[in-house]
């Protein structure tokens, strides 16, 4: 049996995403075969596609998807055919069927739409580890983030408000500013207003932490925004990778900390994954967190989805529908 999939044959721009036919895989021991309902489109796939990350070509992108369990591999417990599931740790998700380890898969309650569930494994659990683990937010903290209307940004703001933080974020258009405000951000400003806003809101002390997924274009602003012993969490590089810098600057800036985390290092056990994913789907199911699906593209238009994401014109989550 064959299926449609998107293949990357060499480092390329978005136009190089090729629609192909590949076999439907069979689950091995400990695996699930999932009939995909929606696939999350993420910046990491643009890095993989363009050659920023070393890949073995050809490959099918996509680690984040939701869907229905179609087949179960040997030794799998706690799952049955027909279960609604989602994962950030699958493989070849730009397709109609894909495999994932059962231990890295979460169940989706009936109260959560599968299209929404496709936004939770990567962006939802990213926001969760940022707030709860990479820098542990406390009630009363002042936090700076960027891209407040993006997929991570909207969820991150809501989690920060649940923790009792004051949130400063950025947005480039009035529509995006309105979305960030609706998510609970206290201050939504243009990028060039960040320094003045931090100065005013904190009486010159600086913020407790910065969550920076932009990278090269915002790194200097992020460092300058921190208070003494503040923490910069650099979790992405949407504008490019940050060049090497002198660690002595952290000392001079007030004993600052910089960390460059990735999600996989905060999903080191089945229990940790279920904690993070369970929290997220639980909050969505009860209405404590709202997840915005900003754009949906058919699988055949994956290139257009990449172009939209890289242009920063999107809000909320971008998904592919097989």
Mean pLDDT on 134-158: 96
> What are the tokens at 99?
């495999």
Instruction: Return residue ranges of the chain for CATH 3.90.180.10.
Output: 2-119+291-321
Other CB atoms within a 10 A radius of the CB of residue 131 amount to 23
Q: What average pLDDT does range 30-35 have in this prediction?
A: 98
What is the maximum span of the chain, computed from C-alpha positions, in angstroms?
64
* pLDDT (tens digit per residue) in 102-122: 999 999 999 999 999 999 999
φ, ψ (nearest 5 deg) of residue 217: -75, -20
Q: Can you name the CATH fold of 123-263? A: Rossmann fold (3.40.50)
Q: What is the pLDDT of residue 90?
A: 94
What is the C-alpha separation between 148 and 183, in angstroms, rounded?
9
Query: Residue 202 is encoded by which pair of tokens?
Result: 């904190």
- pLDDT tens string 36-58: 999 999 988 998 999 988 899 99
| Cα–Cα distance measured from residue 123 to residue 129, given in angstroms and rounded to the nearest whole number | 10
What's the pLDDT at 313?
A: 82
pLDDT at 314 over 90: no
Cβ–Cβ under 8 Å, residues 46 and 55: no
Neighbours of 56 (CB within 10 A): 5
Cis amide leading into 58 (omega within 30): yes
Distance between CA 79 and CA 74 in Å, rounded? 12
Query: Token digits for 203?
Result: 């009486």
Looking at residue 163, its pLDDT comes to: 97
With contact defined as beta carbons under 8 Å apart, do 65 and 98 qualify?
Answer: yes
Q: Which pLDDT score is estimated for 316?
A: 87
Pure H helices in 41-124: 43-50, 114-117
- CATH number for the region 2-119+291-321 comes to 3.90.180.10
Question: Per-residue pLDDT for 131 more than 90?
Answer: yes
The more confidently predicted of residues 55 and 314 is 55
Burial of 45 (0-12, 13-18, 19+ CB in 10 A): buried
**312 pLDDT more than 90:** no
Q: What is the percent of the chain with per-residue pLDDT over 70, rounded to a whole number?
A: 100
pLDDT at 240 over 90: no
Cα distance between residue 65 and residue 287, in whole Å: 21
Enter the tokens of residue 260: 């460059």
What is the C-alpha to C-alpha distance for residues 281 and 154, in angstroms, rounded to an integer? 15
Adjacent-strand bridge partners of 319: 40, 296
Average pLDDT of the segment spanning 271-277: 95
Give the three-state DSSP class for 194.
helix
Q: What angle do CA 66, 313, 287 make, to 5 degrees?
A: 45
Q: Once rounded to an integer, what is the mean pLDDT over residues 308-315? A: 86
Which residues in the chain are classed under CATH 3.40.50.720? 123-263
User: How many Cβ atoms are within 10 Å of 64's Cβ, its own excluded?
Assistant: 28
- Spatial neighbors of 171 by CB under 8 A, at least 6 apart, are 147, 148, 149, 177, 179, 180, 188, 189, 190
- Mean pLDDT computed over 80-84: 98
The structure's pTM equals 0.89
């Amino acid at each position: 049996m064959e299926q449609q999939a998107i293949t990357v044959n060499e480092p390329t721009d978005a136009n190089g995403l090729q629609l192909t036919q590949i076999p439907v895989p069979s689950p091995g021991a400990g695996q699930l075969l999932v009939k995909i309902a929606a696939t999350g489109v993420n910046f990491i796939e643009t890095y993989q596609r363009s050659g920023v990350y070393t890949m073995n070509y050809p490959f099918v992108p996509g680690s984040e998807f939701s869907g229905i369990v179609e087949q179960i591999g040997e030794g799998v417990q706690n799952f049955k055919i027909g279960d609604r599931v989602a994962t950030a740790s699958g493989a070849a998700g730009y397709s109609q069927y894909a495999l994932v380890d059962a231990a890295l898969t979460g169940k989706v309650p009936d109260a959560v739409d599968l299209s929404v569930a496709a936004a939770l494994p990567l962006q939802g659990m990213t926001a969760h580890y940022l707030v709860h683990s990479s820098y542990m937010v406390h009630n009363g903290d002042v936090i700076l983030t960027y891209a407040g209307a993006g997929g991570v940004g909207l969820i991150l703001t809501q989690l920060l408000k649940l923790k009792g933080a004051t949130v400063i974020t950025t947005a480039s258009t009035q529509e995006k500013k309105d979305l960030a405000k609706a998510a609970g951000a206290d201050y939504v400003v243009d990028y060039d207003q960040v320094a003045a806003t931090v100065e005013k809101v904190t009486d010159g002390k600086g913020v407790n932490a910065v969550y920076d997924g932009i990278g090269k274009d915002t790194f200097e602003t992020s460092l300058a925004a921190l208070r003494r012993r503040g923490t910069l969490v650099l979790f992405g590089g949407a504008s490019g990778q940050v060049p090497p810098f002198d660690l002595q600057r952290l000392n001079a800036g007030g004993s600052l900390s910089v960390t460059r985390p990735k999600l996989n290092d905060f999903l080191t056990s089945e229990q940790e994954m279920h904690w993070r994913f369970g929290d997220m789907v639980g909050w969505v199911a009860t209405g404590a967190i709202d997840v915005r699906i900003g754009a949906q593209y058919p699988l055949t238009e994956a290139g257009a989805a990449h172009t939209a994401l890289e242009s920063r014109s999107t809000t909320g989550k971008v998904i592919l529908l097989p």
